Copies of this chain bind each other. A is one copy, B any other.
Amino acid sequence: MGKILLKSVLMQNAGEKPVRKDVLIDGNRFSKISDQVSPDVAGNAEVVDCKNFALLPAFYNGHTHAAMSLLRGYADDMELSKWLNQYIWPLEAKLTAKDIEIGSRLAVLEMIKSGTVFFADMYWHREQTMKVVEEMGIRASIGVTIADNLMTEEGLKANFEFLEKHTGESERVKLAVMPHSVYAVGEANLKRCIGIAEKENYPLHIHLSETASEVENCKAQYGCSPVELLQRLGGLGARTQAAHCVHFSEKDMEIFAKSSATAIMNPCSNFKLSSGFPQIARLMDAGVNLALGTDGDSSNNNLDMHEDMKLAALLAKVQGGAEKLPAADALKMATVNVAKINGLDAGAISEGMLADGILVRLDNERMVPCHDLISNWVYSADSRSIDSVLCDGKFVMRGGHVDGEEDIVREADACARDLASR
């Protein structure tokens, strides 16, 4: 692998002023960040003139269902059970492996264009999504999804074997154990999931306390909240990534914080499906480790981490005061906090870390004036300001363009038309 020198790029550490630095990438890591990288250190690096750019961490999407991109806008503005039963599930039942491949490709394109280089994905036909991620140069934690209600015992067995063999894992693509939820997976299989995550050292990723009725039903069935159930089964720990966490009691928050599990907030989705207000300020006060995700395209309706980051920051403030979750901390929730729990030495621009990042145009009118680079990025910009995206030391987008994007869009459009008419 080669070297890239980002020459005189604007950077900012939290609480400091923006400064110009030279950033040298060697292979897939940031190898040198200093006022000036000398020519002998830079060697034969490709020099990128960054006078017009800021270098910021790329996004890491903590929770999504990538191939649901094909269902974007298919059903909106209706309550959850109607949405699922009458629209989403009947259409999902028609999805083939090829559809999943095409939908995943659209989703990965969408993520790259909005500055995301990693996603934790819970869906079906995982091999297709893994293939697309390998091809397109980003990273993912691909869920092996477990759902009792939708799977035969044979299917379950095959999935656990897939996990035991670490099938198809690579440097950029990892697997994770993803029991869907406490309502879609019975106690026995929850235990199997927890066991294999421990044994094989996988993240354990689950939808948790997304709606009030999930909590009610869990109490009726198990006599405790979903958080308490997970704790009882030994499924709450540092490897636990719980998506949503909207309906936590005070006691749930306390248990969850102590366990070192991470709550993945998906505020756009929770608002849109009327699941409830994620209690970001209270979760922070309780000491819960927080990260961010977008959820799928059919409930958000995009995979733009920037939107969820801004909404999370704003929501924390209206819930807990204007000082709550400053810009730099909101950015961490969308970057390093997600990277870390997925075993990635990434999510911040510093020497030795994986060379992921985005180049943001400083002449974009929403990045001006530049009293504070991080504030501008978090509160003002949108994806239009992103010029280039780096993942693993390589450009996956440059000058606003991703290789092959026209074909990806065309193919997804045709596939979705066909799907709707099947």
Contacts and interface: CB of A to CB of B under 8 A. Distances in A.
Interface in A342-386: 363-366, 368-372, 375-376, 379-384
A300 B415 CA distance: 39
A322 B77 contact: yes
A413 B83 CA distance: 47
A302 B378 CA distance: 11
Interface stretch (A272-280, A285-293, A332-340): A272-280
A321 B79 contact: yes
A8 interface: no
Closest 6 A-B residue pairs measured CB to CB? A369-B416, A271-B314, A73-B375, A301-B379, A77-B326, A274-B322
Interface stretch (A33-41, A146-154, A222-230, A404-412): A404-412
Nearest to A246: B318
A365 B113 contact: yes
B317 A271 contact: yes
A39 to B, nearest CB: 31
Interface residues on A, range: 35 or more
A199 interface: no
Interface string A82-115: 0100000000000000000000001001100100
Contacts of A70: 369
A139 to B, nearest CB: 19
A300 B382 CA distance: 13
A383 B318 CA distance: 25
A16 interface: no
Contact of A311 (B72, B311, B324): B311
A340 to B, nearest CB: 23
A142 interface: no
A366 B79 contact: no
A368 B416 contact: yes
Nearest to A322: B274
Given A302-B366, A365-B409, 19 more contacts: A72-B366, A109-B365, A113-B384, A271-B314, A271-B317, A271-B318, A272-B314, A273-B317, A274-B318, A274-B320, A276-B318, A300-B379, A304-B366, A307-B307, A368-B412, A368-B413, A369-B413, A369-B420, A382-B384
A338 B139 CA distance: 44
Given A301-B375, A365-B405, A379-B301, A370 B413 contact: yes
Interface string A392-419: 0000000000000110111011011100
Contacts of A417: 369
Contact of A297 (B74, B307, B380): B380
Contact of A366 (B74, B110, B275): B110
Nearest to A315: B271
B365 A110 contact: yes
A255 interface: no
A216 interface: no
A363 B406 contact: yes
Nearest to A103: B369
Contacts of A78: 322-323
B76 A326 contact: yes
A73 B379 contact: yes
Interface string A62-73: 000000001111
